[in-house]
Amino acid sequence: MPPSSRSTPTIHDVANRAGVSPATVSRVVNETGQTADATRERVLDAVEELRYRPNRTAKSLSQGATQTIAVAVPTFTTPFHNELLKGIRSRLKTVDTDLLLCDLDWAAPEASLTKFLERGAMDGLLAAGLPMSESVAREVKKLGGPTILIGNRWDDIDSFHWDETKGAWLATEHLIDRGHSRIGMITTHRENPIRDARIQGYQDALKSAGIQPNDDWIAVGSTEKHAGFSEESGFEAMEALLEQSPGIRAVFASSDVQAIGAWQALRKRGLGVPEDVALVGYDDIKISQFIELSSVAQNMHEIGEQATDLLLRRLRGAGPPDVFSRLVTPELQVRASSAGRIENGTH
């Protein structure tokens, strides 16, 4: 009987399909021992039909081979993901492990991940910013080794994820506490759970302070690079916000790179930060500390280290007995870009 379309094919499924023993399948897949050509072809045909992926973790452990960890992220060129990679690299310095990088196509992450996984060249996977679905979860589980999600969660996969709603609330509440009542938000045009959660947190904070949210206070840029999380997009969104809501005197940007672009747009208009417009970003990338940009910190370097440590323990057959899921609460870092308090909300 063929395996269910919702299950991960096993070596026994391949053996049944090819009419051989699991030991024969193991010899063919791992290229050990002698197997008749006709038998080998049957096994390889069954492997292809079932899309079977050998458990490379077991193979590496049995052969004493160097293990390979893959890191899949939407892009390696953003400061946000660079901090994550630094944390991962820091944890791997002391272990004999190879690192593979998978640059997910932000426009079609599932397809690019599936293509990458089909190469079967990894023992474990760290997946950051990967939109999850039933089909993605099935593909990940076919890896045969442990997977750690970063920035998202799934019921039966280990994960580290952030309270995005709380982070946006903290940023908006901070601006309200500074006396602002007309607070704009810069976000991305692409629908995703992170965007939606940050908008929710922003609007909830306004409502909690008795301020009615206004659709004109939310702006997006037109640049699609990095799914809208870019300096160009922030610049465009800030210009749009100044046109559609000229009374805005405080802005929460849903990423630091967008905030940096917004800052340049304000400078172009002859407006200062924070004297004319207070500004808060999100992610707390390294450059934010040097330009005095207030930001919501996600501690990416630390999370990268912790996620890698968990993956290494899983590869050793250790770690928590149940699925691990950690909800990380972001922290607001207040700096000069939002400093000072105004006496009324008209500023």
- Distance CA(329)–CA(161), nearest Å, equals 9
Q: Specify the length of the chain in residues.
A: 347
Within-domain flag for 70: yes
Within-domain flag for 214: yes
Whether 88 contacts 59, CB under 8 Å: no
Within-domain flag for 26: yes
Q: Could you give the number of structural domains in the chain?
A: 3
Within-domain flag for 344: no
pLDDT per residue over 241-277, tens digit each?
999 998 899 999 999 999 999 999 999 999 999 999 9
* Residues spanned by the domain of 122: 56-162+300-329
pLDDT per residue over 62-96, tens digit each?
444 557 888 988 766 677 788 888 999 889 887 87
Instruction: Judge residue 39's burial from the number of C-beta atoms within 10 Å of its C-beta, 0-12 exposed, 13-18 middle, 19 or more buried.
Output: middle
Within-domain flag for 6: no
- Distance CA(227)–CA(257), nearest Å, equals 12
Partners of 150 in the beta sheet?
Answer: 128, 160
Q: Tell me: do 150 and 237 sit in the same domain.
A: no
Q: Tell me: do 29 and 89 sit in the same domain.
A: no
The pTM (predicted TM-score) of the whole model is 0.77
Res 328 pLDDT > 50: yes
Within-domain flag for 182: yes
